[in-house]
Structure 1
Amino acid sequence: MKHITLSILIISGLFTNAVLAQESAEINKKYTKEVERLAKNKQVKEAFGHIKAQMDQTTEDLISLTEVLAPPFMEDERGKVFAKMLEGAGVDSIWTDKVGNVIGLRKGTSGESGYVGVDAHLDVVFPEGTDVTVKKVGDTLKAPGIGDDTRGLAMLISMLKAMNKADIKTEKDLLIVGTVGEEGLGDLRGMKYMFNESGLDIDSWIAIDGGGLGRISNAGLGSKRYKLMVKGQGGHSWGAFGLANPHHALGKAIDIFSEAAWEYTSGNIPKTSFNVGRIGGGTSVNSIPFESWMEVDMRAIDPKNLDEIEIIFKESVEKAISEYNASGVRGEVTYELIKIGDRPSGELPASLPLIQRTMAATKLFGETPQLGRGSTNINIPVSKGIPSVCIGRGGQGGGAHSLHEWYLNDEENDESIQLALLITLSQAGLAK
């Protein structure tokens, strides 16, 4: 009864990160023994050895991929480089789908339906023209995107090479994927296509992203993002004074929304946030603008709260524009709401075999598994109830999403790849 109650609470979105982390300590002995047996397998140990032996090449792969800039919606060139690496590492087939995901198929032996997917994302947050030349300072590599998530792509190639060198066969088919659209306004478009439109029968997913070895995400932090466009006639600041001003109307919308949203998020509800992240418009200091815009991000643990703060936002905008137009200005402003992001929330219970195996494998490598949530590629499968985890890329690094991003080659690097391989093999099954 206890486990049933826990599962219901998790699915209902009532568990905090802290409680999830506590639950991570409860690993069923069945999965601990399963993972321990797998790690002692002769072929698996051989694959681990190959991962360690090829670390220099993995570093070179990381540098090569990093130096091909992949801004949001412009991942094609990096995708081509990754595809060549997949082909060189050895897959049964490879293709790029209509949105740009690069997919390598490694066939299993059982003939069972349902793929096990393993991915890292191709895109970085940096715009076209960013200098992504990798600089070496001792053992440290410095370049925008060197960690998030280019390191994950290099890990996939190392895993694949090690499996082939050790002649490892899995029972289930594997999809090894470089996905598009994970960052920012990419809005998880790669994963949305994989799970909503591709027609692929995927029954579990392992994403590589984020930080250290102990990190395991089994929950997705949902978000909704909007661009509000306010338009007016525009004119001279003196000569047309009194004409409806889109900037003034936008300011009123921010004020009304912020007050209502702050009251809502300050209540006794699971954490919910809101943020006006970007504002723009206008032509000069002495011109009444003809257009004003802002971009708004709203996030929530519980899908219910995300829906409710979205309603608050929409109602606030409508109220602000109506009140502004009725304030005595000449003419009026109009507005348009454009949805620019929609990431679903969701949580999976720690009792699922994939999550149990991930925790058991993490503990085997001497790390304390900690469950939590994030806004990552697994938001999509998690929201559909498909077993999924997001694991860290390991190693030491910092400065993610900055021009000063860095990654250190240390002893944890080979372990992070070995861990990813062990989790993948435990889920896909080692063929006898």
Structure 2
Amino acid sequence: MKKLLSITLLTSYFLSFHASAQEAPSIEKQYSKEIERLTKNKKLRAAFAQIDEQEEQTMKDLVTLTEILAPPFKEDKRGEVFAQMLKEAGVDSLWTDDEGNVIGLRKGVSGQSGYIGVDAHMDVVFPEGTNVKVTKVGDTLKAPGIGDDTRGLTMLLSMLRAMNKAQIKTEKDLLFVGTVGEEGLGDLRGMKYIFNKSGLDIDSWIAIDGGSLGRVSNAGLGSKRYKVVVKGDGGHSWGDFGLANPHHALGFVINSFSEEAWQYTSGNIPKTSFNVGRIGGGTSINSIPFESWMEVDMRAVDPKNLSEMESLFKQTVETAINRYNTSGIDGEVAYELIQIGDRPSGELPHNLPIVQRAMAATQHFGVAPSLSRGSTNINIPVSLGIPSVCIGRGGQGGGAHSLHEWFLNDETGPESIKLALLITIAQAGLKK
């Protein structure tokens, strides 16, 4: 399979798929038959049995990794422990790249070029000092980050152990990866490094991140994120009254952008959103601030709309600042736009082999697959036309990105690991 799909092919697929995105996708018979053949293989069935047998160890791994806090840009401690776990589970080689991604290689037997990557992200949204001690209430485990995406890391370990114990050999090389920088301002830095700087020849990618058994993401929701910093001289609220005020100027910006962006997003276009998520600055209630700032998130299904929203944003900021500076105030403010996030959009066709395999494998476990889009690690390969899917971690969970996050390992827990393994082996090829 050619690694990079042609732009023409992707465009035609995108137009046809986008129009029917809400329809139930069809699964081609050849892939259903392929999955059926694989699940009858004795070694694969033995691997499935191993996944069941090692569930206690998998849950121990979940507690161990959850209790190692991995704040944004500080995933190294968790990475060291995860690397040791990969080594003990049995990889042929192991390394941590310059960005911090932990990568374990399990060699295939064919000598074919192009790696099949399987990943979960190591970072969580919580800052240093967060209490990540796992507590147990009945069968439910509670701790920040226990589901998103620490659970995914333990699935990789379970898959690897099961493959080794069942002596499964794949045709193509596999990479088991704990990635960095998936959350927030991490801006997919781990995946950007792998696909743009590492030099690794990636054939296809499978990410595990969120959602229940049955979720198959084949599309990336793109976003642009900016920090707007407005600066002035600052002064006393009474003694310097009338002096240019960065907060007041930022108010002009927010009002102008909100009006223009709302009008744009209310048009007949694929879903596009905007949000002012954080605002800050100032020293006291009776001081004219010397600085005011906000952080803005813009998202869109269609890359064209995302680009247009970005242009609209930049123009309205400039216009609003100019309008404020000419409003009769004393002096003026200056502003700076700092890009803090750039996640590309993209969508892969439902008849692409990896998507078909993911859906057929999901159906094998008695769950109707549903295609979706999200802001996940596959945004990067999908935007490059590299075959990729993101699947759910199974079990039950809730409270993601909150201090009361929880995970319950019900019957879909081990099934989700088997599903990930089945998709991976289908994509990599099982040596007969």
Q: What is the aligned partner in structure 2 of residue 256 from structure 1?
A: 256
The 3 A distance-change label for structure 1 pair 339 and 7 is closer
Q: Is the 8 A contact 2:17 2:350 kept in 1?
A: no
Matches within 5 A, 1:7-26: 8-12=11-15, 15=18, 19-24=20-25, 26=26
The 3 A distance-change label for structure 1 pair 6 and 173 is closer
SS of structure 2 residue aligned to 1:22: coil
AA of the residue aligned to 2:185: L
Q: What is the aligned partner in structure 2 of residue 423 from structure 1?
A: 423
Q: Is the 8 A contact 1:350 1:356 kept in 2?
A: yes
Matched, 1:316 2:319: no
Identity %: 75
Q: How many Å apart are 1:7 and its aligned residue?
A: 6.3
SS of structure 2 residue aligned to 1:100: coil
In 1, distance between residues paired with 2:296 and 2:160?
A: 40
Q: How many Å apart are 1:13 and its aligned residue?
A: 8.7
In 2, distance between residues paired with 1:313 and 1:14?
A: 29
In 2, distance between residues paired with 1:14 and 1:314?
A: 31
In 2, distance between residues paired with 1:219 and 1:51?
A: 29
In 2, distance between residues paired with 1:10 and 1:30?
A: 20
Q: What is the aligned partner in structure 2 of residue 115 from structure 1?
A: 115
SS of structure 2 residue aligned to 1:258: helix
Q: Is the 8 A contact 1:39 1:45 kept in 2?
A: yes
Q: What is the aligned partner in structure 2 of residue 387 from structure 1?
A: 387
Tell me the alpha carbon deviations over residues 120-147 of structure 1, each in whole angstroms, 9 at most, x when there is no partner.
Answer: 0000011110000000111100000000
In 1, distance between residues paired with 2:257 and 2:397?
A: 37
Q: What is the aligned partner in structure 2 of residue 363 from structure 1?
A: 363
SS of structure 1 residue aligned to 2:239: coil
Q: Is the 8 A contact 1:222 1:375 kept in 2?
A: yes
In 2, distance between residues paired with 1:201 and 1:62?
A: 30
In 2, distance between residues paired with 1:194 and 1:303?
A: 22
Q: Is the 8 A contact 1:203 1:386 kept in 2?
A: yes
Q: Is the 8 A contact 2:17 2:349 kept in 1?
A: no
Q: What is the aligned partner in structure 2 of residue 83 from structure 1?
A: 83
Q: Is the 8 A contact 1:261 1:274 kept in 2?
A: yes
In 2, distance between residues paired with 1:217 and 1:416?
A: 15
Structure 2 stretches of 5 or more lacking a match? 1-7
Q: What is the aligned partner in structure 2 of residue 197 from structure 1?
A: 197
Matches within 5 A, 1:280-319: 280-319=280-319
SS of structure 1 residue aligned to 2:401: coil
Q: Is the 8 A contact 1:13 1:346 kept in 2?
A: no
Q: How many Å apart are 1:8 and its aligned residue?
A: 4.2
In 2, distance between residues paired with 1:181 and 1:175?
A: 18
In 1, distance between residues paired with 2:364 and 2:60?
A: 28
Q: How many Å apart are 1:376 and its aligned residue?
A: 0.2
In 2, distance between residues paired with 1:244 and 1:123?
A: 41
Q: Is the 8 A contact 2:10 2:349 kept in 1?
A: yes
AA of the residue aligned to 2:374: G
SS of structure 1 residue aligned to 2:21: helix
AA of the residue aligned to 1:184: G
Q: Is the 8 A contact 1:170 1:428 kept in 2?
A: yes
The 3 A distance-change label for structure 1 pair 7 and 28 is farther
Q: What is the aligned partner in structure 2 of residue 241 from structure 1?
A: 241
In 2, distance between residues paired with 1:32 and 1:333?
A: 63
SS of structure 2 residue aligned to 1:280: strand
Matched, 1:212 2:215: no
AA of the residue aligned to 2:212: G
In 1, distance between residues paired with 2:16 and 2:80?
A: 39
Matched, 1:176 2:176: yes
Q: How many Å apart are 1:10 and its aligned residue?
A: 4.2
Provide TM-score, normalisation by structure 2: 0.97
In 2, distance between residues paired with 1:9 and 1:141?
A: 45
Tell me the alpha carbon deviations over residues 94-120 of structure 1, each in whole angstroms, 9 at most, x when there is no partner.
Answer: 000001000000000000000000000
AA of the residue aligned to 1:22: E
SS of structure 2 residue aligned to 1:239: coil
Matches within 5 A, 1:216-227: 216-227=216-227
Q: What is the aligned partner in structure 2 of residue 265 from structure 1?
A: 265
SS of structure 2 residue aligned to 1:276: strand
Structure 1 stretches of 5 or more lacking a match? none
Q: How many Å apart are 1:224 and its aligned residue?
A: 0.1
In 1, distance between residues paired with 2:400 and 2:351?
A: 32
Provide TM-score, normalisation by structure 1: 0.97
Q: Is the 8 A contact 1:230 1:333 kept in 2?
A: yes
In 2, distance between residues paired with 1:160 and 1:306?
A: 39
Tell me the alpha carbon deviations over residues 206-235 of structure 1, each in whole angstroms, 9 at most, x when there is no partner.
Answer: 000011111000000000000000000000
In 1, distance between residues paired with 2:245 and 2:121?
A: 42
SS of structure 2 residue aligned to 1:372: strand
AA of the residue aligned to 1:229: V
SS of structure 2 residue aligned to 1:308: helix
Tell me the alpha carbon deviations over residues 307-354 of structure 1, each in whole angstroms, 9 at most, x when there is no partner.
Answer: 000011000000011011111111110000000000000000011100
Q: Is the 8 A contact 1:21 1:370 kept in 2?
A: no
How many residue pairs get aligned? The number is 425
Q: How many Å apart are 1:22 and its aligned residue?
A: 2.0
Q: How many Å apart are 1:9 and its aligned residue?
A: 5.0
Select between 406-415 and 96-105 the one with higher mean Cα deviation. Answer: 406-415
Q: Is the 8 A contact 1:23 1:350 kept in 2?
A: no
SS of structure 1 residue aligned to 2:23: helix
Tell me the alpha carbon deviations over residues 128-187 of structure 1, each in whole angstroms, 9 at most, x when there is no partner.
Answer: 100000001111000000000000000000000000000001000000000000000000
Matched, 1:44 2:44: yes
Q: How many Å apart are 1:15 and its aligned residue?
A: 1.2
Q: Is the 8 A contact 1:12 1:302 kept in 2?
A: no
